[in-house]
């Protein structure tokens, strides 16, 4: 038996190229060492305060609370918007499930809204149609959640104007957009409250974490209170609200402080990845890269995304490209499957005209890590050339 295994021809598997993997800057461990030396292992402490300050100075946000995840941040944003059992919340359909799941944690129901073609994010026209229709049915939406997917800023002004007109709190899911800008302002500073994520695949990571940002200091103070089990001021444990255990630890925040030192570089590196793909695909028909509509939009290029039209390139679909990359141990992933197409949300209302369905059908995310090496790009472009020529 064992000799059989030994005699098997050894196939040389090349190392995996990931879609987006953690990329440490080098100083993360210094902050963790400081925490160990002062025995500040338990929740809160100087790294938590420092990380929050760093986030505020980078984004120019007035207040930030760091949390265990971006999902927790969205959940607290909904709680603070007053979303409760039986409510409806309008949510961008073309997103990752973590934008929508917290709506159900509140006992509320998501109503999904299609995207527009310019930024691939929530469509202002569809949003307004939905609001009017829900109002007609006597169901005023309790909140709106929009997303800057793949780092591309949404049509921020148009969406904010609609929500202001109808008096609906707007929650910004900037989980994929730290470092992106709209009209020179950082994503994470628009709307009633904003969520960031430091999950392992995001532009910077704390191995897992998130943050809630907002203009209103009182709301962020309340978020910190709710995130630490909602303990009233008393010598004994006293509670008059339902709380959550959502606060980031001082160790994770140490990683975050180290990552903040290299965030600007990470944005440049990811934007450089995108430029490489853009110039490569310029030579091919039927492949469209995700484009910034005009100077108002600055994407962190968290992921480099393409749309593949088989009618314009001799029948090559995005799935053919994805499988060819997979065969060479290179990870690529279809653009996110819209929430209104997900089995778990099949009963939810949806307003749209097929934009997000088509993005899902034709779209592909390519390896986009800030730690990609020259030889990784050589391997990736080799596969793409073979398929497209």
Ligand X SMILES: *Cc1c(COP(=O)(O)O)cnc(C)c1O
In the bound complex, which residue of the shown chain has the CB atom lying closest to ligand X? 70
Please identify, using beta-carbon distances, which residue of 141 and 151 lies nearer to ligand X: 151
* Nearest-angstrom CA–CA distance, 31 and 123: 42
DSSP state of 220: H
Among 109, 115, 180, 199, binds ligand X (CB under 6 A): 199
- Closest distance of CB 214 from ligand X, Å: 17
Q: According to the binding rule CB under 6 A, does residue 22 interact with ligand X?
A: no
Q: What is the total count of residues that contact ligand X (CB under 6 A)?
A: 14
Please identify, using beta-carbon distances, which residue of 69 and 119 lies nearer to ligand X: 69
- Closest distance of CB 4 from ligand X, Å: 44
**DSSP-assigned states of every residue in 41-76:** TSSSSHHHHHHHHHHHHHHT-SEEEEES-HHHHHHH
Please identify, using beta-carbon distances, which residue of 47 and 121 lies nearer to ligand X: 121
Cα separations (Å) of 243 from 180, 224, 227, 240? 32, 10, 6, 9
Provide the mask over 147-176, with x wherever binding to ligand X is found by CB under 6 A and - wherever it is not: x-------------------------x-xx
- Closest distance of CB 239 from ligand X, Å: 25
Q: According to the binding rule CB under 6 A, does residue 78 interact with ligand X?
A: no
Please identify, using beta-carbon distances, which residue of 72 and 287 lies nearer to ligand X: 72
Please identify, using beta-carbon distances, which residue of 28 and 173 lies nearer to ligand X: 173
Provide the mask over 317-356, with x wherever binding to ligand X is found by CB under 6 A and - wherever it is not: ----------------------------------------
* Nearest-angstrom CA–CA distance, 248 and 259: 15
Among 71, 252, 259, 368, binds ligand X (CB under 6 A): 71
Among 99, 180, 205, 206, binds ligand X (CB under 6 A): 99
Please identify, using beta-carbon distances, which residue of 304 and 384 lies nearer to ligand X: 304
Q: Which stretch binds ligand X (CB under 6 A): 49-57, 67-75, 159-167, 283-291?
A: 67-75
Cβ pair 128, 138 in contact under 8 A: no
Counted residue by residue, the chain has a size of 389
- Closest distance of CB 210 from ligand X, Å: 4
Q: According to the binding rule CB under 6 A, does residue 98 interact with ligand X?
A: yes
Provide the mask over 204-233, with x wherever binding to ligand X is found by CB under 6 A and - wherever it is not: ------x-----------------------
**DSSP-assigned states of every residue in 143-182:** EEEEE-GGG----HHHHHHHHHHHT--EEEE-TT-TT-EE
- Closest distance of CB 178 from ligand X, Å: 11
Q: According to the binding rule CB under 6 A, does residue 69 interact with ligand X?
A: yes
* Nearest-angstrom CA–CA distance, 326 and 308: 17
Nearby residues of 334 by Cβ (< 8 Å), 6 or more positions away: 318, 319, 322, 360, 363, 364, 365
Among 59, 197, 206, 252, binds ligand X (CB under 6 A): 197
Cα separations (Å) of 231 from 81, 235, 240, 245, 330? 20, 10, 8, 11, 48
Instruction: Name the maximum alpha-carbon separation found in the chain.
Output: 75
- Closest distance of CB 196 from ligand X, Å: 8
Among 22, 45, 50, 70, binds ligand X (CB under 6 A): 70
* Nearest-angstrom CA–CA distance, 180 and 301: 8
Nearest to 150 by CA among 270, 38, 276: 270
Please identify, using beta-carbon distances, which residue of 175 and 212 lies nearer to ligand X: 175
Nearby residues of 78 by Cβ (< 8 Å), 6 or more positions away: 89, 102, 103, 105, 106, 108, 143, 171
- Closest distance of CB 284 from ligand X, Å: 28
The residues of the shown chain that bind ligand X, judged by CB under 6 A, are 69-71, 95-96, 98-99, 147, 173, 175-176, 197, 199, 210
């Amino acid at each position: 038996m064992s000799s059989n295994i030994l005699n098997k021809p050894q196939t040389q598997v090349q190392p995996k190229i990931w879609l987006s993997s953690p990329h440490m800057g080098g100083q993360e461990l210094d902050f963790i060492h400081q925490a160990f030396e002062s025995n500040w292992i338990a929740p809160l402490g100087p790294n938590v305060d420092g990380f929050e300050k760093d986030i505020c100075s980078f984004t120019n946000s007035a207040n930030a609370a760091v949390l265990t995840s971006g999902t927790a941040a969205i959940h607290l944003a909904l709680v603070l918007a007053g979303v409760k059992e039986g409510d409806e919340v309008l949510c961008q359909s073309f997103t990752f499930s973590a934008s929508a799941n917290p709506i159900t944690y509140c006992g509320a129901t998501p109503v999904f809204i299609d995207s527009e073609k310019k930024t691939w994010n929530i469509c202002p026209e569809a949003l307004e149609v939905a609001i009017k229709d829900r109002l007609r049915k006597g169901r005023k939406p309790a909140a709106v959640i929009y997303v800057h997917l793949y780092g591309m800023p949404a049509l921020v002004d148009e969406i904010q104007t609609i929500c202001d007109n109808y008096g609906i709190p707007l929650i910004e899911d900037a989980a994929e957009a730290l470092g992106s800008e709209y009209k020179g302002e950082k994503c994470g500073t628009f709307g009633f409250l904003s969520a960031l994520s430091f999950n392992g695949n995001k532009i910077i990571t704390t191995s897992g974490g998130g943050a809630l940002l907002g203009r209103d200091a009182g709301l962020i103070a309340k978020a910190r209170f709710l995130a630490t089990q909602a303990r009233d001021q008393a010598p004994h444990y006293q509670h008059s609200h339902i709380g959550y255990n959502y606060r980031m630890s001082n160790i994770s925040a140490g990683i975050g402080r180290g990552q903040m030192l290299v965030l600007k570089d990470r944005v440049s590196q990811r934007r450089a990845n995108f430029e490489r793909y853009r110039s490569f695909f310029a030579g091919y028909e039927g492949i469209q890269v995700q484009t910034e509509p005009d100077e108002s939009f600055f994407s962190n290029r968290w992921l480099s995304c393409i749309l593949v039209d088989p009618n314009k390139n001799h029948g090559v679909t995005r799935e053919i490209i994805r499988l060819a990359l997979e065969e060479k141990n290179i990870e690529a992933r279809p653009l996110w499957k819209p929430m209104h197409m997900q089995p778990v949300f099949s009963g939810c209302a949806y307003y749209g005209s097929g934009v997000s369905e088509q993005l899902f059908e034709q779209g592909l995310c390519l390896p986009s890590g800030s730690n990609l090496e020259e030889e990784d790009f050589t391997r990736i472009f080799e596969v793409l050339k073979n398929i497209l020529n």
